Amino acid sequence: MQFDAIYTTYEKRIYGFLVRLSGRRDVADDLFQETWLRLARHAPTLSEDTDIAAWLFTVARNLYRSHVRWSIADRLRRRDVVEAVTSTTPEIDHAWRERWQKLETALGELPVAHREILLLVGVEAMEPQLAAQVLGISAAAARQRLSRARAALAYALGEEGTPWKI
């Protein structure tokens, strides 16, 4: 697959993942760009059977984790997340927008491990087994983490027992 085709296929998903994970557009912009530079650099060494989606999300996640480890200014600033996600969908009515805002706020307050699994499975529609590969954990651990993350999200929303389909 050509670089342009891969970029077109995954750019919005990778960028959305990084915005939600970091909560900051400026950080997401930098990590997004570095993700694609890594693909350009490593593409010749990837095997034919490489799952590009898993590879890209793994790179994006690892870049984010490195950013958190090395960034002194890493604070939980998430004021632009809701705008970044909802500003591109003006057809959503007011009630839905409020519910979406509530979900994004609750998601942003979860621990990173919970956010990662929810974003990969719920937003990116990855199977838990593929998400496990991206996260570097076993499939069983991914399923357990997903279950706990869903429960934590429901609790944060004050809606235990109400499925959010994420």
**Strand, coil or helix: 34:** helix
Question: Exposure of 143 by Cβ count < 10 A (0-12 exposed, 13-18 middle, 19+ buried)?
Answer: middle
Assess contact for 128 and 149: CB atoms under 8 A. Answer: no
Query: CA 126 to CA 133: how far, in whole Å?
Result: 10
18-66 pLDDT, tens per residue?
999 998 899 999 999 999 999 999 999 999 999 999 999 999 999 998 8
Q: Which residues of the chain have pLDDT under 50?
A: 72-82, 164, 166
pLDDT (0 to 100) of residue 76: 37
pTM: 0.57
Integer angstrom CA distances of residue 125 from 6, 53, 117, 122, 165: 18, 11, 11, 5, 11
